[in-house]
Structure 1
Amino acid sequence: MEWSLAIIAAGVLGVASISRPLSGSLVTPTLAFMAFGLLVGGEVLGLIELSSGNSTVRSLAEAALTLVLFTDAARIDLRALREGGGVPLRLLGVGLPLTIAAGTLAAVVCFGELTLGEALIVAVILAPTDAALGQAVVTSPLIPTRLRQGLNVESGLNDGICVPLLFAAVAAADLESHISGGRGAGTLLLEEIGYGVLGGLVAGFLVAMVVIHAGRRGLIDAAWRQLIPAAGAALAYGIAVALDGSGFIASFVAGLVFRGLVKEDPAAIDELTEQVGDALGGVTFLLFGAILLGPAIAASSWVLLLYALLSLTVVRMAPVALAMLGSGARAPTVALLGWFGPRGLASIVFALIVVEESHLPHQDLIVTAVYLTVGLSVVLHGVSATPLVRRYGAWLQANPLGSRRGPEETSASLTRVRGRSAPGSAEAP
């Protein structure tokens, strides 16, 4: 532990020093953090001496995810979302359940030693997506707004939805676990979602009122104004968790409410919150590489790698294709939506919850499969994002939608998206 903090700080400085050339390149900052962590971790140089049971990674990941969800939601154009709400509804209402079912089936086939309940746990952990790992997709003006909004909303809500599903699955598979607090699966699901939404509504409203009314009277210093969204995200999370709800759903809903009530450019208010969330996420992936991914790679086998590949391809892409039937989306668009379902912070958090809160007989196999899948996702989705966005943009320009309506329409605008400005006029041609 003596040198761990210094090594982590050196890693952050190193990535920060080359952050501009990394932007838009095949090597994303997340990939750079993870690779550095893998290098300095116990399986290679052994410079970071934290154990996999250390709660630091979980705390960092939860904090980062909370902030990212709030800022992502605050950047969503609610008018555009109402106009093109079919994409997230299809991805969440049809795609998510089918993804969990397909992931469970794949786990049963690949890992014969797992019980059905344990296979379901693997599938639920790997069902949430992390839009930040495919940042080029949700920020590029080459991608129609409705597709970007759809992926962003899906990413913001599916991890919160999966929290009660995970708790219920663990409670069913491990009778000794107290993770569900004695609640039935239905009650658990309703309370996690209901109290999560309630916490988000309350926190989002309160934060918006502070910005609007205190700001109108000139009571808020400019520097402190940037801290308000972070406090709002924490407030939403805290209220929901205190009520036994999902803090992640609360954070996302709070961001949506905040954006709906505060009409000004969210970048003027929440840029610091976004930057802090990104920084915490980077450190999380550094520690993930150092503490969790290294041992997972050492314990990997062809079966584990096969499951990771299936999880990122067939298990995700086939349900998305079924979910988009009848939407008017053409094959390249469906393929884009299906491929860009990266696994990231939420899956790491869920795996650590399983490690800390349960005593499953095949727990090591479960988390190894999860960590390998997340690591592979960081590499494949990070490397492929920019080239595929450019290729899709060129295809869309050569094959315009014409008079037909569908998710590829480009009339809606996005005020601002993660990491950069996106003027409403800079839409896909």
Structure 2
Amino acid sequence: MDGVFFGLAGYHILLVGCGLVIVAAYWLPQFLAKREPSASGLLMLGGLAVFGLMPGMPQALDPVDRPAVWELASEFAVIIALFGTGIRIDRILGRRLWTPTIRLLIVAMPLCIVFVTFAGTLAGMTVAGAVLLAAVLAPTDPVLAGDVQVGAPLEGGEHPVRFALTTEAGLNDGLAFPFVYLAIFMAASGGIGEWIGEWIGLYLVYKIVVGLLCGLGAGWVLGKLLFVFPRGNPLAEGGTGVIALAGVLLTYGLTELIEGYGFIAAFVMGATLRRIESDHEYHVRLHGFSEALEHAVTAILLVMLGGAIPALVPYFDWPHALIGVALVFLIRPLSGLVALLGTDLGWRQRGVIAFFGVRGLGSIYYLAYAGGQIELINEGTLWATVVFTILLSTLVHGFTAGVTLDRVLGKKDGAGEGGAEPIRAP
């Protein structure tokens, strides 16, 4: 009988701990600031404090032993976040609107990958391991960077700085995937080989194109189902966000089945859906639903990730920790500044974009995915480095984002310096 009544005690303790940490992480900062707190770092620290000292709990959450759990959980969180990020954007057309985003994607991200790879080899990693670490840490996070992104639909006044950070986070989660595959191929074959043609054709070109096309098509179809058919009684008039959630899950799954990048499809679908009846109030409801869902899932994952930290401490060393420090304070800021040279943005605005490259759950997904494909060398060290970098990023960026953007952009996101005007909803 004791087994019947108390067999799930560990699970219930996990629920109690998660609830306690989440409430505290959002409530305690209110004593220090009147703005909505960025709780990401506090959630991880709270998980460390509550679960880290609990016998057996860190091992139960250890991503080295249970990568599949982390892969599936973080995958779901990222899908919802990318879709919600696409929904937020009021306007996607405009002269030179996408220039900063494109430069961040094709200049800043590859530069970060190159420099982190170099740093990884200096720390004693194999070339394949260093490339994997660099690819895993390449994407910025669409959830944890919420304080520096555009607001809810129909708010208007989207500043170019916020637009660049939002669209970068929406797209680079998928664009980092080819480099993850590059590392997997290198590790499996021991270097560059005959597979390079397959990697370029399938993983670098085909999968990206398919992801874009699937997102465009699915967003258009779902938009018609929500706003147009049946005439006189569209789903959007009384429908809930569950419908769009089902649509994005369907889109992601189908895209992956035909070998496309589902992360790209999820973001593009959200942005495309938003173009259908773009001023309709349903978009606000849909955004509220997706935002609540993504924040809830992300909060639980961050608490559990913090609880897993003690299990990763034996793999932690200072050479790899310095990679995370360098990425946050040196590599990403310098790469971003180089990428944004010659844009219409002023230097302070470029500095904000360059600095706020928040790392998060996308990195967890990619590393867990890679671990499920091949036997990783020094897998524990990779996990320790990635988790440390995420914790550092959430603390540094989370506690500086609000104040920094208020000072640089103005509390109402005015034009600021450099002549860059706010992006207004059409």
Structure-2 residue corresponding to 1:419? none
1:271 aligns with 2:288: yes
CA distance 1:299–1:26, change in 2 (3 Å) = farther
> Structure 1 residues 50, 94: closer, same or farther in 2, change over 3 A?
closer
Could you say which residue in structure 2 is the equivalent of 1:329?
Answer: 345
Q: Residue in 2 aligned with 1:348?
A: 364
Structure 1 position 308 matched with structure 2 position 314: no
Partner of 1:234: 249
Could you tell me the percent identity over the aligned residues? Answer: 24
SS of 1:327 mapped into structure 2: coil
Equivalence for 1:290: 307
Take 2:253 and 2:260, find their aligned partners in 1: how far apart are those partners? 9
SS of 1:132's equivalent in the other structure is coil
1:18 Cα deviation (Å)? 6.7
- Residue 361 of structure 2 aligns with an amino acid whose one-letter code is L
Aligned to 2:15: 9
Q: Is the 8 A contact 2:81 2:142 kept in 1?
A: no
The unaligned stretches of length 5 or more in structure 2 are 1-6
1:205 aligns with 2:220: yes
**Equivalent of 1:138, from 145, 149, 154?**
149
> Aligned pair in 2 of structure 1 residues 324, 50: CA closer, same or farther (>3 Å)?
closer
Aligned to 1:418: none
Q: Which moved more, 1:208-217 or 1:379-388?
A: 208-217
CA contact (8 A) 1:57 1:287 kept: no
1:236 aligned counterpart, secondary structure? helix
Letter of the aligned partner of 2:115 in structure 1? A
Q: Give the deviation of 1:184 after TM superposition.
A: 1.9
- Residue 358 of structure 2 aligns to a residue whose secondary structure is coil
Partner of 1:106: 119
1:106-255 to structure 2, matched below 5 A, reads 106-109=119-122, 111-112=123-124, 114-139=125-150, 145-175=159-189, 184-186=198-200, 187-214=202-229, 216-218=231-233, 220=235, 224-255=239-270
What TM-score, normalized to structure 1? 0.84
- Residues in 1 aligned to 2:210 and 2:218: alpha-carbon distance in whole angstroms: 12
Task: Give the secondary structure class of the aligned counterpart of 1:38.
Answer: helix
Amino acid at match of 2:164: G
The unaligned stretches of length 5 or more in structure 1 are 416-429
Provide the rounded CA distance (Å) in 2 between the counterparts of 1:4 and 1:222. 44
Change (3 A) 1:399 1:275: closer
- Aligned mates of 1:171, 1:276 — CA distance in 2: 35
- Aligned position for 1:30: 40
1:166-197 CA distances to partner (integer Å, 9 max, x unpaired)?
112211122399xxx99821122122212211
| Cα distance, 1:12–1:143 mapped onto 2, change above 3 Å | farther
The partner residue of 2:381 within 359, 365, 368 is 365
Q: Aligned in 2, Cα 1:11/1:221: closer, same or farther, shift over 3 Å?
A: farther
Is contact 1:7–1:47 with CA below 8 Å preserved after alignment? no
Which one-letter code corresponds to 2:211 in the other structure? G
Aligned partner of residue 174 in structure 1, secondary structure: helix
Query: What does the per-residue CA deviation read over 1:76-125, in whole Å, with 9 as the maximum and x for residues that have no partner?
Result: 1234665521110111121111111111122222x12x122221111111
Q: Counterparts of 1:289 and 1:272 in 2: how far apart (Å)?
A: 26
How far does residue 164 in structure 1 lie from its aligned partner after superposition?
2.1
Q: Deviations over 1:323-377 (max 9, x none)?
A: 1111133322122111100100110111111222211323322222112111111
TM-score normalised by structure 2 residue count:
0.85
TM-aligned CA distance change 1:75 to 1:399, over 3 Å: closer
Residue among 402, 411, 414 paired with 1:386: 402
Instruction: Give the aligned residue type for 2:82.
Output: L
Q: Give the Cα separation in 2 of the matches to 1:95 and 1:353.
A: 24
CA deviation vs aligned residue, 1:250-290 (integer Å, no higher than 9, x gap): 10111111011232242133321221122111111122112
Once residues 313 and 131 of structure 1 are traced to their aligned partners in structure 2, the CA distance between those partners, rounded to angstroms, is 20
Aligned-pair Cα RMSD in Å: 3.1
Give the aligned partner of residue 98 of structure 2. Answer: 85
Q: What is the one-letter code of the residue matched to 1:2?
A: L
**2:17 and 2:38 mapped to 1: Cα distance?**
14
Q: 1:325 to 1:61 in 2, by over 3 A?
A: same
Report deviation, 1:12: 4.5
Q: Select between 184-193 and 121-130 the one with higher mean Cα deviation.
A: 184-193
